[in-house]
């Protein structure tokens, strides 16, 4: 079978690929090797798929349905492997046994076309928040002499993002960027907890399953405070929020309700929501996604 990457993946990787990156060119052969090594039968490539990996629906030698996922190194697939192994199916898709190949994951098959976004908004937020709560566990301890976990911290990840935000902050967005950077500094001064976080959680990252109704997929794991993880969920369905005449009030109400439902500090959630929305908006401007940038920065202005 020919493993042609979906156009959505090609476009997304084209926006972020460093000079000389040839992962996409090598992808068809890497996928063939991964299928052969694991004795898998291919059903189809998931389309439109994600923006950072090739997802292939397969069956194992015993007929069990599964998912084969291949991702480039810059999207940290080995950190995803470590997080999924640590969660061991609690709140997240199960990592399946088999040969370990860098950048290749064999996963439990969920229902790829059914996410919590298919539910009414209030129900979707409730189910997504409940799923996220189960993921917030103590990070694993590495076997190394320093006892460190294998994941970067919120401070490290947002530090890189902050540098890019400063570099991309022209006069039009300077005030929002400055506010987001101040919020980050204040939030990092005294984080209330240290948990393993999903890192890129939103409604579309929660799929219907068989063993439990909803399970998270596609983590970009990081260690830090829970409000950082929840912040991305606040802006879900941002297009609908912007289009609504009561959008600003809805966002403030959503921050309050999500913070209360997960017993988090409302102001910390607001602060991380601001930082993450501005960071995403500035990044969207940088790669030419003007409409996305406009929505995100208008949303951030409401906070």
Q: Report the distance separating Cα 118 and Cα 113, nearest Å.
A: 9
Confirm whether 2 is domain-assigned. Answer: no
Each residue's pLDDT tens digit, 42-70: 999 998 888 899 999 999 999 999 999 99
Pairing of strands 41-45, 54-59: antiparallel
- Do residues 187 and 296 share a domain? yes
Please tell me whether residues 34 and 126 are part of one structural domain. no
How many other CB atoms sit within 10 Å of the CB of residue 101?
15
Mean pLDDT value of segment 251-271: 97
pLDDT digit string, tens, across residues 70-104: 999 999 999 999 999 999 999 999 999 999 999 99
Average pLDDT over residues 249-269: 96
**Quick one: pLDDT at residue 12?**
85
8-state DSSP, 120: -
Residues 205, 288, single domain; the answer is yes
**Domain end point (choices 59, 74, 109):** 109
- pLDDT, residue 14, reads 80
Confidence of residue 144 (pLDDT cuts 50, 70, 90): very low
Task: Examine the domain organization and report whether 71 and 86 are in the same domain.
Answer: yes
Q: How confident is the model at residue 149 (pLDDT cuts 50, 70, 90)?
A: low
pLDDT of residue 143: 44
1, part of any domain: no
* Mean of the per-residue pLDDT values of the chain: 93
Close Cβ partners of 39 (under 8 Å, ≥ 6 residues apart): 60, 61
């Amino acid at each position: 079978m020919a493993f042609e990457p979906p156009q959505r993946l090609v476009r997304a990787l084209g926006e972020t690929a460093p000079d000389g990156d040839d992962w996409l060119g090598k992808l068809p052969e890497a996928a063939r090797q991964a299928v052969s090594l694991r004795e898998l039968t291919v059903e189809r490539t998931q389309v439109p798929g994600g923006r950072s990996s090739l997802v292939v629906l397969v069956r194992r030698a015993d007929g069990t349905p599964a998912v084969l996922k291949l991702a480039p190194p810059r999207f940290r697939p080995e950190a995803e492997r470590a997080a999924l192994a640590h969660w061991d199916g609690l709140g997240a898709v199960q990592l399946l046994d088999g040969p370990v190949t860098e950048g290749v994951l064999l996963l439990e098959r969920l229902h790829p076309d059914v996410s919590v976004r298919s539910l009414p908004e209030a129900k979707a937020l409730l189910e997504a928040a409940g799923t996220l709560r189960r993921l917030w566990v103590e990070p694993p301890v590495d076997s190394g002499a320093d006892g460190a976990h294998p994941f970067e911290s919120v401070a490290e990840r947002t530090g890189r993002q902050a540098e890019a935000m400063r570099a991309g902050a022209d006069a039009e967005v300077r005030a929002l960027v400055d506010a987001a950077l101040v919020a980050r500094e204040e939030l990092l001064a005294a984080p209330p907890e240290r948990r393993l976080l999903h890192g890129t959680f939103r409604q579309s990252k929660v799929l219907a399953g068989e063993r439990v109704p909803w399970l998270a997929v596609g983590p970009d794991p990081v260690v830090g405070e829970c409000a950082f993880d929840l912040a991305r969920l606040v802006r879900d369905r941002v297009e609908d929020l912007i289009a609504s005449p009561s959008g600003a009030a809805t966002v403030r109400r959503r921050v309050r309700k999500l913070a209360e439902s997960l017993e988090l500090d409302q102001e910390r959630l607001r602060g991380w929501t601001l930082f993450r929305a501005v960071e995403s908006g500035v990044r969207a401007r940088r790669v030419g996604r003007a409409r996305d940038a406009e929505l995100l920065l208008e949303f951030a202005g409401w906070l």
